[in-house]
Structure 1
Amino acid sequence: MQDSVVPELHEVAPPMSWLRRWWRRQTPGRQDRFAMLAPLAAVMLFLAAIISAFWYLRLEEMDREQEAVRRDVEYAQQRVRLRLLERQEQLMRIARDIANKDVDPEEFVGRAETLVIQYPELQSLAWIDDRRRIKADYSAPSLPPQQQREAGDVLKPGETETTFLLVRDLQQPVYAQPAGGTELAPLLQLHVPLADQARFAGVILAEYSIDGLLRYGVPAEVSARYAVSLHDGKGRLLAGQTLPPRNTAGWLPSWVAPRTNEFEVPVTPVGNGLVLRGQAYRTSLGLVGSGLFWLVGTLSAMTAWMLIGNWRHTRRRVQAQQALIAETNFRRAMENSMLTGMRALDMQGRITYVNPAFCQMTGWSEPELVGRTAPFPYWPDADREQLNARLDDELNGRTTPGGFQVRVKRKDGSLFDARMYVSPLIDPKGHQTGWMTSMTDITEPNRIREQLSASYERFTTVLEALDASVSVAPLGSEELLFANKLYRLWFGLHTGGHLQMVAQAGVPDQPRTDESLDEVDSFVGLPTGQLTTAQSENAEIFVPELGKWLEVRSRYLNWVDGRLAQMVIATDITPRRHAEEQASAQAERAQAASRLVTMGEMASSVAHELNQPLTAINNYCNGMVSRIRGGQIREDDLLKALEKTAHQAQRAGQIIQRIRSFVRRSEPNRTEADVATMVGEAVELAEIELRRRNVRLSHYVAARLPKLLVDPILIEQVLVNLMKNAAEAIDHARRPPAQRSVELRAVPRQVDGQAVVEFTVLDTGKGLAPEVMDRLYEAFFSTKVEGMGIGLNLCRSIVESHQGRMQAENIYNGADIAGCRFSFWLPVSGAISSAANKDTGVVA
């Protein structure tokens, strides 16, 4: 007996020892958690075991009930089957007697009546020949008249037709259910075939009442225990009764809710067309209706709820304990990791506490400092009297809120600068127990401050040496935040010069009134970040007090105190302005030279043009002299000759006056000029050259064109130059007379939503080569041997000085160039900016 027990102890001991070692390795928090969860798990396992037991017993009971239902329903099916087979055998004997000619229709009726009376489930018997004619028939009195037949009738088409044919083919008894309305009692038909010398001679049709078959065929003991019913192949109820579903609410699971024990089996020899179903009446409350189940469940739930409440309470206590430990560890870690040295003194000046940072800064350890009194080992020898006086002030409560700076000696003898702050040390009861001192190493900040001071001096030196005036003033105030040497030299130490430059430059600023100084800043709500990052604004102004032209650049910035300020940088550009004026004068002289060159090239044409009126004047004068000497002139003829002579002289004078006004040098004068007038005068000048080159000129000016704010002489110079170039291009292309034409057009247009007038000069020359098109407006570039290369460049400069644009393009006729089109447009008077009044053109 002892030998058998010892091995079992050896087998159990290792797992227990392993569990004990595992338990000891767990933290106290985990042990508490496991200790609280174990009873809860035990209660839940107990509840699960009870539910499993109930569930198992319930399944066993349901299986027994199901087996009983199956057995009794099969027994009832056997009884119904035997009853049907017996009737079938009797009918087959009658069929044999009919085939042997032993039974006539009268005797058939008598035997049928005996069977119907003896077996109540039989409703009718009919003898039907092979042509479906009823030879004899007997029906029970209880059969409705609609279902009764008379001898001599013929079965209606469709009535048992399929079954009749099937019996004829099989030569065997066949069961079937006739089609009928829902108001008629369901019947079961049996067709027994008749044979006459191996030839089909008809059938004996027997009709059973399905309700009677259920009532007389099912044993009474089965009907007492079960709800027995007969159904067709589609599940429709034919006879009997069925039980409603028990879990009508549907809220219980299928394994908990009570089920109806039922079993169904087809009735042979009928087959699947007739099914016998038996449903057991409910005799038990099921698992859910068991009071013991609910009692056990309630007690288990209450036990689990109490265990969960106890566990939650314990968990909160553990959490509070862990929070306290974490807070203590956090404060200790914070004290140990902070870079600020902490020192605590009692009321007598004895050191009671130092943190690691204080020890690390001084080089002395905590045991070497705690308990020491003045003089402390980290005091420099040269500062002991001063530090002793400060310690006396600390102990007496005379502390400085901003702290004080001292020198501290390390253990190795080196010194560093430190700033100390002193505050009272209060215990949890509100009593002062000493003084807490915090010490920060400021050696590096002092070094940085010195570097910043030196950097500021260098920055100030650079700004003072700038040849530009720099001033900074806050918005909404007349305070001058910064001004360099040149600003002070020009404007002094007040903000008048700053505000004057801002006003003349057109830079937005806040109006400064006495009332606005006390109100909310008008720039409140503006995106100051975008203001300070915006690009600077440039303007050129003239300061009469200084007699200088200044280029003013301004931008917004955030001042060191957070206010939004405006910085203005002014540079003396008086020499540059003088150079620009000289360049403008040179441009004017270049324009006059261009006109002179143009007129020099047109000299022969002009001489030819003047030769005609001068020759006419000479002829008129000679003619009049001859006729006066001969006394052959009348006064009227003399007046007509003198009028013609005066007209020719006036014409010559107009030609000379037009040329003088074109070539004379004058100051640019922009006025509102009429487009038709400018085009007419330009055509009059260019027509001389075009006639000399045998080129036709046609021009078109749109009606009601707006006036242009331009210098008419300069625009006429551009038009004359373009028409002259067009005539030269046609002459150089050697076009035939029919193709030597130049067209000038002036029409209104819209360019980028702006109203402009477009001038177009169209010729029929060979156009421009691609390499020439790229360098067309380049200065001193020309395709003519004698050309200077300033004509088109000067034309484009004149057009752009009037805020316009010029372009050139070839005209194609298929793949061949059929001419060239030069066009430029000028904005109407209202679209020209005021800045265009400064210059008339720029020489590239």
Structure 2
Amino acid sequence: MTTTTQPDLADSPLRRITSWWHAFEEALPGGRGRRTLWLALIALVMGVLITLVWLAGRYEASQLQAELEGDTTEAVSDLRRQLTRQTQSLQGLQSNTPLETFWNTEAQALLREHREWLRIEARDPELNLKNQVDSPLHKPIFKRVSRTDSLNETVQACAKARRINGPSYSSSYFLPQNDGIGFEVMEMCLPATQDGVLVGFTIVTYGLQGLLNELLGDSFGRRNEISFTEPDGTRLAIAGSQSRGLRVFTSQQLVNLPGNTLVLRMDGRRGEASIFPNVLTALVTAMSIALLTVMVLLVKDSRRRLKAERDLAEALAFRKAMEDSLVTGLRARDLEGRITYVNPAFCQMVGFEAEALTGRNAPMPYWPPEMVDEYKQRQAIRLAGNVPPREGFESVFMRQDGTHFPVLIIEAPLISVQGEQTGWMGAVIDISEQRRIEEVSRASQERLQATARLATVGEMASLLSHELNQPLAAIASYANGSLNLLQNPSAVPQTLDDVHMALRRIAEQADRAGRVINSVHDFVRRRDQDREALAPKMLFDAVAPLVQLQARKLRVTVHTHIDPQLPEVMCDRTMVEQVLLNLARNGMQAMDKPDCSDRRLLLKARRAASNAEQAWVEFSVTDVGEGISETVASQLFTPFFTTKAEGMGLGLSLCRTVVEQHGGHLEFEALAPKGTVFRFTLPVKAALLLDKIPA
């Protein structure tokens, strides 16, 4: 089923504009009665502002156009001036001795100097070709079209040059080239006279593109696009470049040359007229905008202030609701230790009202009387800043009815908006229920440990009976032999010595049976959970009789290796003995296979890798059994997982729990070619430094 959601108009742009306009109307002086005058004033100011900006824009555009026209005029003058200098260079060529070799050399030098020249010709008065030189900087221009086909413009230019006795320029014409393209050229004819008699003509062929690039490109082509055009606007040659995105201003001027007139067009690249083209307009505009802005800001400030007040009220109400809903007690203290704030959860926790706690300093009413002196000292340490902040610590508080309960306190510096510490903020958590659950869990763990020990002893019952059978049988044999000797009335001293020896053997066997029974009895009945400092050898000796029981039945050789001068370890003796016994029994059972002939079990203790805070001793149990498969290894420490037909699946799980409770780590590793080693670590006995933590 598709649900159509209607658009939310509560915060739409139209709704915001409408609400803003209503607020603006309310903020206008005089109320709604003078609304029309204010609207007229606003419209007048906006009209003046728009008009000023428009006029300034027009003025700037006219300034840019005038600047471009000035550039065009200067470009025309510069072009004519340079063409005049080039004419003087040709006259210098005519005045030299007209030797052909010398003429060619001078002509080539001029062609190299003037890149816009394409060809220089020397002709007689009848325009017959006497000599010619093509520019070494360009390809010869009369390869595709013969020179005779383009003499028409040259003849007209030279005829006019003869009449005016000076240089004359031909009309431009298109000259195609072999590469399929071509260009516009123009020729200048300069008559040569000697003693007032015409002796010939010097003709120079110009490329219009070269004229623009060489004579005007460097000075005017950087900011403008320059071109020669025909009267109808057709472009004959273009130089310079024009950027996109800019406003183009155009100026055209005639280049009057003897015999020909060119149209020079310049397209100026200029930016769009800016919004504020001059300082005066900018000032007027700024003042006008300022008047409107002040009015708008007043309205927006009023709306913002009202909104801030509403948001502040909502934030305070929300914070109060959160404080009332918290189950964690909050307590704020100043730098002198006085309570400045408590939340309802804290008051409910200690049983005092907020008024009875606020402003109080040490001793606090929720401190147990027997701990007041200690708590004062700890509070002084806290206020002096000698305890790391944001570290949780446990303490004991007292309710108003006198009952004590444990709490967890997490305290940190209280920092103001200016970044200065104004006190301490603490979070107080009642951990009574947590402690009760931990006690229940500990009792359950003890019962589980006892059950596991009983199960272990039950499995050893048959072994115990077999082990006790030997000393009991020996006792019976020595007792019967002694009775037989004593029944002989003619006993001699030698017989009495045999009786004494038999009685000593009976005592030894009885002591042996007692040790076996006592070791099992102590293992099952031991309840003391206090940790004590023990030598690793004592732990091995404690489980040795039970391990030997299993070893003799399974024909396993047990080796024990303890590194010399090992330090004592801090541990719960009963629990660690159970870990050693479980690991040893598992190792021996892993070797109880028909194909395992060399059955050796190694119990080892050595120093482990330590750090600056704690030293460790590593215990290991190594067997040469068939090893542990990958499938079993992934579930090895899972409770109630077992590969034995009569196993409970709790042994290795309990072993890991015991080791981790001591702060150590239990792991196993496969050996090559076969076998497995189990390792676990126990902490070395060390002096523990306990920092005092404030309440």
Q: TM-score, normalised by structure 2?
A: 0.55
In the alignment, the residues of structure 1 paired with residue 588 and residue 323 of structure 2 have an alpha-carbon distance, to the nearest angstrom, of 62
Q: Partner amino acid for 2:433?
A: P
Q: Mapping of 1:45-84 within 5 angstroms?
A: 46=77, 49-50=80-81, 52-58=83-89, 60-61=91-92, 64-65=95-96, 67-68=98-99, 70=101
In the alignment, the residues of structure 1 paired with residue 690 and residue 666 of structure 2 have an alpha-carbon distance, to the nearest angstrom, of 21
1:720 aligns with 2:581: yes
Larger Rg: 1
1:619 aligns with 2:480: no
In the alignment, the residues of structure 1 paired with residue 329 and residue 635 of structure 2 have an alpha-carbon distance, to the nearest angstrom, of 43
In the alignment, the residues of structure 2 paired with residue 320 and residue 603 of structure 1 have an alpha-carbon distance, to the nearest angstrom, of 106
Secondary structure in structure 1 of the residue aligned to 2:609: strand
- Contact residue 548 and residue 572 of structure 1 kept, 8 A: yes
- Contact residue 613 and residue 652 of structure 1 kept, 8 A: yes
Structure 2: unaligned runs, 5 residues or longer: 1-54, 106-111, 116-273, 369-373
Q: Which residue does the alignment assign to 2:406?
A: 549
Match for residue 453 of structure 2 among 595, 599, 617: 595
Percent of aligned positions with the same letter in both sequences? 26
Q: Mapping of 1:543-692 within 5 angstroms?
A: 543=397, 547-554=404-411, 559=416, 563-564=420-421, 566-630=424-488, 631-634=491-494, 637=498, 639-692=500-553
In the alignment, the residues of structure 2 paired with residue 26 and residue 793 of structure 1 have an alpha-carbon distance, to the nearest angstrom, of 88
CA shift for structure 1 position 557: 6.5
Q: Mapping of 1:10-25 within 5 angstroms?
A: none
Structure 1, 34-43 or 619-628: larger mean CA deviation: 34-43
In the alignment, the residues of structure 2 paired with residue 831 and residue 64 of structure 1 have an alpha-carbon distance, to the nearest angstrom, of 118
- Contact residue 507 and residue 537 of structure 1 kept, 8 A: no
Secondary structure in structure 1 of the residue aligned to 2:646: coil
Q: 1:70 to 1:742 in 2, by over 3 A?
A: same
Q: 1:606 to 1:833 in 2, by over 3 A?
A: farther
Q: 1:334 to 1:498 in 2, by over 3 A?
A: farther
**For each residue in 1:383-420, what CA deviation from the matched residue of structure 2 results, as whole angstroms up to 9, or x when unmatched?**
xxxxxxxxxxxxxxxxxxxxxxxxxxxxxxxxxxxxxx
Q: Which residue does the alignment assign to 1:748?
A: 607
**For each residue in 1:51-86, what CA deviation from the matched residue of structure 2 results, as whole angstroms up to 9, or x when unmatched?**
553354235425754855936999xxxxxxxxxxxx
Q: Which residue does the alignment assign to 2:621?
A: 761
CA shift for structure 1 position 45: 5.4
Secondary structure in structure 2 of the residue aligned to 1:823: strand
In the alignment, the residues of structure 2 paired with residue 72 and residue 465 of structure 1 have an alpha-carbon distance, to the nearest angstrom, of 110
In the alignment, the residues of structure 1 paired with residue 82 and residue 318 of structure 2 have an alpha-carbon distance, to the nearest angstrom, of 91
Q: 1:480 to 1:34 in 2, by over 3 A?
A: farther
- Contact residue 516 and residue 545 of structure 2 kept, 8 A: no
- Contact residue 472 and residue 566 of structure 1 kept, 8 A: yes
Q: Mapping of 1:291-302 within 5 angstroms?
A: none
1:778 aligns with 2:632: no
- Contact residue 56 and residue 281 of structure 2 kept, 8 A: no
Match for residue 323 of structure 2 among 458, 463, 466: 463
In the alignment, the residues of structure 1 paired with residue 58 and residue 574 of structure 2 have an alpha-carbon distance, to the nearest angstrom, of 104
CA shift for structure 1 position 690: 1.8
In the alignment, the residues of structure 2 paired with residue 72 and residue 795 of structure 1 have an alpha-carbon distance, to the nearest angstrom, of 115
Q: Mapping of 1:45-124 within 5 angstroms?
A: 46=77, 49-50=80-81, 52-58=83-89, 60-61=91-92, 64-65=95-96, 67-68=98-99, 70=101
- Contact residue 533 and residue 571 of structure 2 kept, 8 A: yes
Q: Which residue does the alignment assign to 1:110?
A: none
1:483 aligns with 2:366: no
In the alignment, the residues of structure 1 paired with residue 83 and residue 655 of structure 2 have an alpha-carbon distance, to the nearest angstrom, of 108
- Contact residue 589 and residue 665 of structure 1 kept, 8 A: no
In the alignment, the residues of structure 2 paired with residue 830 and residue 556 of structure 1 have an alpha-carbon distance, to the nearest angstrom, of 33
Q: TM-score, normalised by structure 1?
A: 0.46
CA shift for structure 1 position 808: 3.3
Q: Partner amino acid for 1:699?
A: T
- Contact residue 695 and residue 740 of structure 1 kept, 8 A: yes
Q: 1:454 to 1:756 in 2, by over 3 A?
A: closer
Q: Mapping of 1:282-431 within 5 angstroms?
A: 322-340=278-296
1:28 aligns with 2:28: no
Q: 1:819 to 1:29 in 2, by over 3 A?
A: closer
CA shift for structure 1 position 797: 0.6
Q: Partner amino acid for 1:654?
A: R
Structure 1: unaligned runs, 5 residues or longer: 1-23, 75-252, 257-317, 342-437, 517-521, 836-844
Equivalences, count: 453
CA shift for structure 1 position 824: 2.4
* RMSD of equivalent CA atoms: 4.7
- Contact residue 570 and residue 682 of structure 2 kept, 8 A: no
In the alignment, the residues of structure 1 paired with residue 589 and residue 654 of structure 2 have an alpha-carbon distance, to the nearest angstrom, of 18
In the alignment, the residues of structure 1 paired with residue 78 and residue 318 of structure 2 have an alpha-carbon distance, to the nearest angstrom, of 87
In the alignment, the residues of structure 1 paired with residue 620 and residue 645 of structure 2 have an alpha-carbon distance, to the nearest angstrom, of 26
Secondary structure in structure 2 of the residue aligned to 1:739: coil
In the alignment, the residues of structure 2 paired with residue 830 and residue 778 of structure 1 have an alpha-carbon distance, to the nearest angstrom, of 33
**For each residue in 1:421-441, what CA deviation from the matched residue of structure 2 results, as whole angstroms up to 9, or x when unmatched?**
xxxxxxxxxxxxxxxxx6767
In the alignment, the residues of structure 1 paired with residue 668 and residue 425 of structure 2 have an alpha-carbon distance, to the nearest angstrom, of 47
- Contact residue 526 and residue 574 of structure 2 kept, 8 A: no
In the alignment, the residues of structure 1 paired with residue 344 and residue 644 of structure 2 have an alpha-carbon distance, to the nearest angstrom, of 58
Q: Partner amino acid for 1:623?
A: G
CA shift for structure 1 position 762: 2.8
In the alignment, the residues of structure 2 paired with residue 622 and residue 794 of structure 1 have an alpha-carbon distance, to the nearest angstrom, of 48
1:446 aligns with 2:306: yes
1:808 aligns with 2:668: yes
Secondary structure in structure 2 of the residue aligned to 1:669: coil
Q: Partner amino acid for 1:581?
A: E
In the alignment, the residues of structure 2 paired with residue 798 and residue 621 of structure 1 have an alpha-carbon distance, to the nearest angstrom, of 46
In the alignment, the residues of structure 2 paired with residue 320 and residue 761 of structure 1 have an alpha-carbon distance, to the nearest angstrom, of 90
In the alignment, the residues of structure 2 paired with residue 771 and residue 637 of structure 1 have an alpha-carbon distance, to the nearest angstrom, of 62
Q: Which residue does the alignment assign to 1:309?
A: none
**For each residue in 1:752-781, what CA deviation from the matched residue of structure 2 results, as whole angstroms up to 9, or x when unmatched?**
998543333233444334433222222222
1:704 aligns with 2:660: no
In the alignment, the residues of structure 2 paired with residue 477 and residue 58 of structure 1 have an alpha-carbon distance, to the nearest angstrom, of 101
Q: 1:67 to 1:320 in 2, by over 3 A?
A: farther
